[in-house]
């Protein structure tokens, strides 16, 4: 039942469709299925709680303790940003400031949900189940794309059944790109050759969906995340071979394209690609206007460098609702002080991974998933340069939840197990309570 419940949690976390539940001013409040994880936490304790065995505890390298840096920084930022929003509300009477603060802070609060999961059960079981869920959703997305009347000329990955993915194309495609390294880790730790082949096929489908959506930031996040994962897990020759294979296939594809150039399907495809290129290079600006928006955001930040604009709407100064960058958005809303705390939270993610990597044996499941999280980290953080991925609930909830899982005590225990021993918590009978000390 424990693994079944972890699978259910993975479905709630990854399901990429939103629902509009209310409107503040002219801004809709969209909730993801992942927001319901708050309601599932009480039941989660009873269904997933398990204790490590005595043998597992004896193999832990060092004291078993909560990793407190990430949750402490998250709490400080939540208190700080909430105070700014309250002050902004009091000075202006604009309720939209509270909505803006809620939208930024809600994903950060998922650190604490992840911390609970990582204290109750083996977090790498949760990562594994979430990867399987993602593979299923990728398969469904690919099937729904292929069964549309416009395939292969339509918008790839726009729908699952009749539901449109939230914020298509950039938001869901960046979300899909972030999860590809986890899927590759699941493939690398699979003991079934069939599961390995299916996993690689689904990873290829996810790449086709992301590239076919023509979302540049998502494609960049995909490439960076996968390349980082393959390099740090020692697959440089495989990476080189993959690049050469893609090059050969591209040449073959170009030859086929030349032969079929006069067909209606190819003409429509060319028109679609040309339209996307024209939008990307509009007014000779490859950023599609982002450079001007970023310059304006920096100018505004210079005027209020410390506390920012206290969640005042960016649309008051521009024709858009956001600076189209995660870090400039936080700078505008919370000022330089808020951005420093926010970046400290993000930096603590890598520190938590590094802390566990030092006690992890090469080739174990934990070793692969920790490296996958590093690939995810760099893919998402680079993607943040062109859009606020972590403010969107779809990606933000997932990222903060997964890294929050590493803050629990059982992450240390699982990471310390050698390859020849079972690493799922609760697999051996003899147990005793885990001592917990603050980091």
DSSP 273-334: HHHHHHHHTGGG-TTTTHHHHHHHHHHHHHHSTTTTTTT--GGGTSSSSS-SSHHHHHHHHH
As for how many domains the chain has, the answer is 1
Residue 61 lies in a domain: yes
pLDDT of residue 266: 61
Which residue(s) pair with 20 in the sheet? 30
Tokens of 430: 């003899």
Query: Domain of 84?
Result: 2-275+295-415
Within a domain: 16: yes
Per-residue pLDDT of the chain (439 residues; tens, 9 = 90+): 899 999 999 999 999 998 877 666 666 677 899 999 999 999 999 999 988 888 888 788 777 888 999 999 999 999 999 999 999 999 888 888 998 999 999 999 999 999 999 999 999 999 999 999 999 999 999 999 999 888 877 788 999 998 999 989 899 999 999 999 999 999 999 989 999 999 999 999 999 999 888 888 899 999 999 999 999 999 888 888 877 877 776 676 556 555 555 565 566 666 666 665 565 555 556 666 788 899 999 999 999 999 999 999 998 888 888 898 999 999 999 999 999 999 999 999 999 999 999 989 899 999 999 999 999 999 999 999 999 999 999 999 999 999 999 999 999 999 888 864 444 433 333 333 444 444 4
Within a 13 Å sphere around the CA of 119, how many CA atoms are in the beta-carbon half? 19
Question: Distances in Å between the alpha carbon of 56 and those of 226, 363, 408, 414, 429?
Answer: 32, 18, 16, 8, 11
Q: Does 420 reside within a domain?
A: no
Flag whether 408 is in a domain.
yes
pLDDT, position 428: 37
Contacts of 346 (CB under 8 A, 6+ apart): 381
What pLDDT is attached to residue 57? Answer: 80
| Domain-embedded: residue 54 | yes
Residue 265 lies in a domain: yes
Residues 386 and 294: their CA atoms lie apart, in Å, by 10
Per-residue pLDDT at 426: 37
Instruction: Please answer whether residues 176 and 150 qualify as being in contact, where contact means their C-beta atoms are separated by less than 8 angstroms.
Output: no
Q: Do the domain assignments include residue 402?
A: yes
Nearest CA to 231 out of 243, 249, 220 is that of: 243
In-domain check, residue 11 = yes
């Amino acid at each position: 039942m424990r693994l079944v419940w972890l699978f259910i949690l993975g479905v709630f976390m990854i399901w990429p469709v939103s629902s509009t539940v209310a409107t503040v001013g002219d801004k809709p409040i969209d909730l993801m299925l992942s927001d319901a994880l708050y309601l599932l936490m009480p039941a989660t304790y009873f269904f997933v709680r398990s204790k490590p065995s005595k043998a597992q505890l004896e193999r832990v390298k060092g004291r078993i303790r909560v990793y407190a840096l990430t949750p402490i920084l998250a709490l400080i930022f939540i208190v700080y940003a909430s105070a700014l929003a309250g002050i902004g509300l009091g000075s202006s009477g604009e309720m939209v400031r509270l909505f803006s603060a809620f939208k930024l802070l809600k994903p950060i609060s998922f650190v604490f949900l992840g911390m609970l999961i990582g204290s109750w059960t083996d977090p790498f079981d949760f990562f594994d189940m979430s990867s399987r869920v993602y593979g299923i959703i990728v398969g469904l997305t690919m099937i729904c794309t292929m069964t549309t009347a416009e395939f292969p000329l339509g918008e790839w990955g726009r729908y699952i059944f009749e539901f449109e993915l939230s914020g298509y194309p950039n938001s869901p495609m960046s979300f899909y790109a972030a999860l590809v390294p986890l899927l590759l880790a699941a493939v690398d730790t699979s003991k079934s050759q069939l599961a390995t082949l299916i996993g690689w096929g689904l990873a290829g489908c996810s790449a086709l969906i992301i590239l076919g959506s023509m979302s540049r930031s998502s494609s960049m996040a995909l490439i960076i995340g996968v390349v980082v994962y393959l390099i740090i897990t020692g697959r440089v020759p495989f990476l080189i071979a993959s690049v050469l294979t893609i090059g050969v296939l591209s040449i073959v594809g170009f030859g086929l394209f030349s032969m079929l150039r006069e067909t209606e399907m190819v003409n429509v495809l060319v028109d679609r690609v040309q339209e996307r290129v024209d939008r990307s290079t509009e007014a000779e600006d490859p950023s599609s206007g982002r450079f001007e928006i970023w310059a304006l955001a920096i100018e505004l930040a210079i005027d209020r460098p410390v506390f920012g604009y206290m969640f005042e709407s960016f649309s008051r100064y521009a024709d858009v609702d956001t600076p189209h960058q995660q870090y400039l958005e936080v700078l505008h809303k919370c000022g330089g002080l808020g951005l420093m705390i926010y970046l400290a939270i993000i930096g603590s993610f890598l520190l938590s991974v590094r802390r566990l990597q030092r006690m992890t044996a090469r080739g174990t499941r934990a070793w692969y998933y920790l490296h996958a999280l590093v690939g995810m980290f760099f893919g998402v953080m680079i993607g943040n340069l062109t859009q606020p991925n972590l403010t969107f609930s779809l990606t933000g909830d997932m990222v903060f939840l997964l890294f929050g899982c590493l803050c629990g005590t059982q992450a240390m225990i699982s990471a310390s197990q050698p390859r020849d021993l079972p690493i799922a918590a609760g697999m051996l009978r003899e147990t005793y309570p885990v001592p917990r000390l603050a980091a």
